[in-house]
């Protein structure tokens, strides 16, 4: 009895200490662009072990669209169609209520299996929201009011050809540049706009497209030998540029050109995972004279056939191979385990994976553990059978999900507990 | 053999279009989209006349990944599956799901995530199975022993990028196969007993993965769905070939036409064709005339199965909706959001499977309103159940990529 009470006190103290000292305080995080702060679909915080849950906070209808959800402070941003017009929208993260809507253009109609509405995810930085519409307009909006600050038509430039399913690449903000993947019939790569004015700052188009279009990928930040770079998968290569002037720092050929759809995953300072239709390749980077050399460490066909990001934690990679959630050894590419969860999209929050089923409507939290799949929480987010291809977002202890019909916010348990303790 | 009363025979005859030969009631569900390849079961007296329908699981059997539908003849169910070694043909006892035999096919061109997607045809004691590697085999229904084998690659030059995926069409003693050859010989008719070539169609357009349809109203014709996406803007259409000799009967071309659907005959002189985005009703021409499009609407889209026809109305899926559409003008009588699915017409009712929600429904086939008579979760929500329901007698068979499930309609 005495021991038991003592144990409980210790646990409570430990929980308090972990919030105060070791773990970053809950409440500090944002999800400012597609796949989060570092475009790695991961944040190194979250609920303390044992406190994970999925408690529904609010639910609201939303128009059709594949745009992900971005969160900065008290506001969230995404895209939707109202049936006739595509919009960027801002909503209150506490209630889901729409704060403003900004038109992107006439609704892009779904075809050949796709759906109506925007595809691209807005990026938010320094009071501005940057959003690309499916017809190729890039707009900058005031994040508080939705007022249009500037607008650029991507397809009016000869270097850009609209992809088959509409423009779907998402912007990333690097310093005072807004960077987007673009491509035309011959070349593809990145274009940067001045965040304040919308003026084109630079373009870097080192990839051959072989008649293909812009692609759907997003660039990711990479710090290499102290240099801040942006890395992107293009049609026939993966390459990195300096965000200030677009100078190519390194480039690595991937063989046959294919339309890029996924962001590269930066594992740490010198490794990048590139995922394509036929599989994934781990590329190691090392200094080479004044530049860098890229070497393929391994290739695996066990990470393919999915639009979900792959995430990295403590030497393991977690990602989708078709219907299977698969864990690989990041060093060798060998499969550690696989679990048939049906296809889905995942992100990592601390030591947990947050997984949204693509058509089951089920949201799950599982441990990010190299020893095996273990589910710790589950909730019904959407109707079974409804298409839910947009990945989850996480900010301030909350998971946000949307599909083509609804948007839902869940509390993961950890943040609510920390607030009580404060 | 099931015996039919006079009343049920009358309703059976009423359910088939004028001029068509009704499939015999003991013919089971011998191929993709049923006996007449139009999504309709021949039998009557399956469901109670009115009120709720009670569905009860009879058995459930794990199976390897495939998008292949379930063909049933007598007490044998045949489908394709896959394991780590490649594609296979598997026969289950339709009574209890026990495995009767399994024959390994080949490992070539197999998508390990989706498995093989051709549906076998069964008849005259044989199962006709087409592998992703384009090997066509006739296997004895009793024990899986090979009766004959045709290499569609060697004999006809078949070489589709994603492997052979069409479903053979059995029409009496003729087996009609879409070879996916790049040039001539895209459609061939083989003697179902020996595999010997009877005819090969000449000069018809590309048709890689679709399964041929069959029209039996005014003339017996093989219906071929074409798609050519190699020339930029996809073009395609429908070609009708005479069953006896493969000669061209008529043809109609449409623009923005892309899918791997099967053309279905509607009534005496119309054919429904589907793309990923819409559906077109084509009027088959009389001699000397040209075919024409009656309407083209977005209410139905190609996915797993085709809409079914009953009494001047079509029932099927378009996007997230199950719809009833008037054949006369293409307008929608009702729609219900059940999410993408497939539908079979059985005894005046729709047996509808939501291909990703794991739900099986029985819905009255009436233009008046959506009237659901039963709903049952039959496989795991989120899993792929990309087949149309197979119905034989009072038993419904469905599968996803991990199990086959038999469900009985309770009296």
How confident is the model at residue A158, as a pLDDT?
Answer: 60
Interchain pair A385, B114: CB under 8 A:
no
Taking residues B275-292, report their average pLDDT. Answer: 92
DSSP state of B40: B
Per-residue model confidence as pLDDT tens digits over A17-37: 333 333 333 345 899 999 999
Confidence check: pLDDT of A15 > 70: no
Per-residue model confidence as pLDDT tens digits over B170-227: 999 999 999 988 888 899 999 999 999 999 998 777 777 899 999 998 789 999 998 8
Per-residue model confidence as pLDDT tens digits over A186-212: 888 999 999 999 999 999 999 988 777
Count CA atoms closer than 13 A to B111's CA, side-chain side.
22
Distance separating alpha carbons of residues A44 and A46, to the nearest angstrom: 7
Confidence check: pLDDT of A369 > 90: yes
How confident is the model at residue A184, as a pLDDT?
Answer: 80
Per-residue model confidence as pLDDT tens digits over A40-61: 999 997 666 556 889 999 999 9
Quick one: what percent of chain A has pLDDT higher than 90? 74
Quick check: B68 and B31 in contact, CB under 8 A? Answer: no
Tell me how close the Cα of A382 comes to any Cα of chain B, in angstroms. 11
CA distances B274 to A377, A412, B226, B316, B318, Å, are 42, 45, 11, 11, 10
Q: Encode burial over A199-216: b for 16+ CB neighbours within 10 A, e otherwise.
A: eebbbbbebbbeebbbbb
Quick one: what percent of chain B has pLDDT higher than 90? 77
DSSP state of B21: P
Interface test with A, best of B161, B356, B401, B402 (most A CBs within 10 A): B356
Tell me how close the Cα of A110 comes to any Cα of chain B, in angstroms. 9
Confidence check: pLDDT of A10 > 70: no
Better-scored residue on pLDDT, A215 or A107: A107
ipTM of the complex: 0.85
- CA closest to A278 among chain B residues: B111
* Residue A206 tokens, joined: 């080192």
Q: Does B114 touch chain A (CB under 8 A)?
A: yes
Quick check: A320 and A314 in contact, CB under 8 A? Answer: no
- CA closest to B275 among chain A residues: A112
Q: Is the dihedral of CA B373, B377, B379, B385 positive or negative?
A: positive
pTM for the full model?
Answer: 0.89
Interchain pair A111, B340: CB under 8 A:
no
> Could you say which of B113, B339, B341 has the minimum Cβ distance to residue A322?
B113
Quick check: B225 and B182 in contact, CB under 8 A? Answer: no
Quick check: A50 and A85 in contact, CB under 8 A? Answer: no
How confident is the model at residue A17, as a pLDDT?
Answer: 35
DSSP state of A155: G
Better-scored residue on pLDDT, B184 or A329: A329
Q: Does B353 touch chain A (CB under 8 A)?
A: no
> Could you say which of A113, A322, A362 has the minimum Cβ distance to residue B382?
A362
Chain B, residues 381-400, CB within 8 A of chain A, namely 381-384
Q: What are φ and ψ of residue A419, in 5° steps?
A: -60, -40
Identify the contact set of chain A against chain B, taking CB-CB distances under 8 A. 111-113, 305, 321-323, 340, 342-344, 357-362, 383-387
Quick one: what percent of chain A has pLDDT higher than 70? 89
Q: Is the dihedral of CA B326, B328, B330, B332 positive or negative?
A: negative
CA distances A369 to A348, A349, A356, B76, B77, Å, are 11, 13, 18, 45, 42
Mean pLDDT for chain A overall: 88
Confidence check: pLDDT of B409 > 60: yes
Predicted confidence band at A164 (pLDDT cuts at 50, 70, 90)?
A: confident
Chain B hits for A359, Cβ within 8 Å: 339, 356-357, 381-382
Q: What share of chain B is helix, strand, coil (3-state, %, to 5)?
A: 5, 45, 55
Predicted confidence band at B37 (pLDDT cuts at 50, 70, 90)?
A: very high
> Could you say which of A111, A340, A384 has the minimum Cβ distance to residue B357?
A384
- CA closest to B377 among chain A residues: A384
Per-residue model confidence as pLDDT tens digits over B86-115: 999 999 999 999 999 999 998 887 777 889
- CA closest to B338 among chain A residues: A385
- CA closest to B319 among chain A residues: A113
Predicted confidence band at B20 (pLDDT cuts at 50, 70, 90)?
A: very low
């Amino acid at each position: 009895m005495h021991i038991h009470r003592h144990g409980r006190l210790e646990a409570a103290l430990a929980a308090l200490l972990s919030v105060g000292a070791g773990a970053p305080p809950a409440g500090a995080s944002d999800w400012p662009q597609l796949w989060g702060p570092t475009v790695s679909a991961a944040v190194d915080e979250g609920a303390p072990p044992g406190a994970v849950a999925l408690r529904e906070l609010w639910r609201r209808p939303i128009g059709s669209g594949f745009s992900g959800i971005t969160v900065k402070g008290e506001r969230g941003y995404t895209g939707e169609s109202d049936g006739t017009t595509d919009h960027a929208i801002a909503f209150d993260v506490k209630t889901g209520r729409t704060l403003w809507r900004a038109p992107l253009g006439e609704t892009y109609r779904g075809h050949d299996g796709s759906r109506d509405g925007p595809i691209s995810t807005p990026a938010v930085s320094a009071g501005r929201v940057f959003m690309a519409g499916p017809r190729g307009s890039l707009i900058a909006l005031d994040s508080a009011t939705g007022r249009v600050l500037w607008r650029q038509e991507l397809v009016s430039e000869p270097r850009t050809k609209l992809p088959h399913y509409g423009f779907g690449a998402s912007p990333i903000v690097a310093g005072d540049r807004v960077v987007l993947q673009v491509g035309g019939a011959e070349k593809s790569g990145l274009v940067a706009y001045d965040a304040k004015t919308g003026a084109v700052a630079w373009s870097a188009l080192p990839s051959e497209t072989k008649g293909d279009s812009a692609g759907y990928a997003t660039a990711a930040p990479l710090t290499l030998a102290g240099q801040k770079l942006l890395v992107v998968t293009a049609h026939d290569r993966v390459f990195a540029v300096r965000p200030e002037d677009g100078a190519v720092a390194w480039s690595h050929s991937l063989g046959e050109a294919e339309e890029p759809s996924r962001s590269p995953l930066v594992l740490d300072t010198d490794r990048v995972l590139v995922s394509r239709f036929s599989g994934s390749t781990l590329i190691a980077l090392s200094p080479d004279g004044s530049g860098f050399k890229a070497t393929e460490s391994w290739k695996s066909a066990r990470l393919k056939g999915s639009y979900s990001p792959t995430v990295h934690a403590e030497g393991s990679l977690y990602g989708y191979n078709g219907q299977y959630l698969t864990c690989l050894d990041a060093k060798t590419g060998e499969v550690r385990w696989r679990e048939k969860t049906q296809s889905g999209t995942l992100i990592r929050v601390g030591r947990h994976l947050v997984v949204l089923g693509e058509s089951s409507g089920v949201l799950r939290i599982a441990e990010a553990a190299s020893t095996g799949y273990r589910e710790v929480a589950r909730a019904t987010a959407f109707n079974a059978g409804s298409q839910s291809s947009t990945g989850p977002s996480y900010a301030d202890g909350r998971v946000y999900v949307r599909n083509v019909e609804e948007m839902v916010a869940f509390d993961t348990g950890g943040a609510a507990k920390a607030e009580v303790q404060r | 053999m099931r015996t039919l009363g006079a009343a049920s025979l009358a309703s059976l005859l009423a359910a088939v279009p004028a001029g068509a030969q009704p499939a015999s009631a003991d013919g089971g569900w011998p191929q993709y989209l049923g006996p007449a390849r139009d999504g309709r079961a021949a039998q009557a007296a399956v469901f109670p006349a009115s009120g709720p329908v009670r569905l009860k699981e009879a058995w459930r059997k794990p199976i390897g990944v495939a998008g292949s539908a379930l063909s049933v003849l007598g007490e044998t169910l045949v489908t394709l599956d896959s394991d780590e070694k490649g594609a296979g043909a598997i026969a289950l006892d339709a009574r209890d799901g026990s495995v009767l035999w399994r024959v390994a096919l080949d490992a070539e061109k197999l998508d390990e995530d989706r498995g093989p997607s051709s549906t076998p045809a069964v008849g005259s004691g044989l199962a006709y199975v087409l592998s992703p590697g384009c090997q066509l085999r006739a296997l004895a229904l009793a024990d899986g022993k090979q009766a004959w084998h045709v290499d569609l690659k060697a004999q006809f030059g078949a070489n589709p990028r994603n492997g052979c995926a069409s479903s053979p069409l059995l029409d009496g003693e003729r087996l009609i196969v879409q070879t996916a050859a790049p040039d001539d010989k895209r459609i061939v008719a083989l003697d179902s007993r020996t595999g010997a070539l009877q005819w090969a169609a000449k000069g018809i357009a590309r048709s890689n993965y679709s399964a041929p349809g069959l029209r039996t109203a005014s003339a017996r014709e093989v219906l071929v769905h074409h798609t050519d996406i190699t020339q930029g803007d996809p073009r395609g259409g429908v070609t009708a070939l005479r069953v006896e000799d493969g000669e061209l009967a008529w043809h109609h071309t449409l623009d923005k036409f892309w899918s791997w659907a099967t053309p279905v005959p509607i009534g005496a002189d119309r054919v429904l064709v589907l793309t990923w985005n819409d559906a077109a009703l084509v009027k088959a021409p009389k001699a000397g005339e040209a075919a024409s499009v009656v309407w083209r609407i977005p209410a139905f889209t190609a996915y797993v199965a085709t809409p079914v026809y009953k009494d001047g109305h079509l029932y099927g899926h378009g996007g997230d909706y199950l719809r009833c559409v008037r054949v006369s003008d293409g307008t929608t009588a009702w729609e219900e959001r059940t999410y993408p699915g497939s539908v079979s017409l059985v005894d005046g009712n729709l047996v509808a499977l939501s291909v990703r929600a794991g739900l099986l429904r029985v819905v009255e086939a009436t233009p008046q309103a959506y009237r659901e008579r039963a709903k049952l979760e039959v496989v795991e929500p989120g899993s792929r159940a990309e087949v149309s329901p197979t119905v034989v007698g009072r038993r419904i068979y469905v599968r996803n990529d991990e199990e086959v499930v038999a469900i009985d309609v309770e009296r």
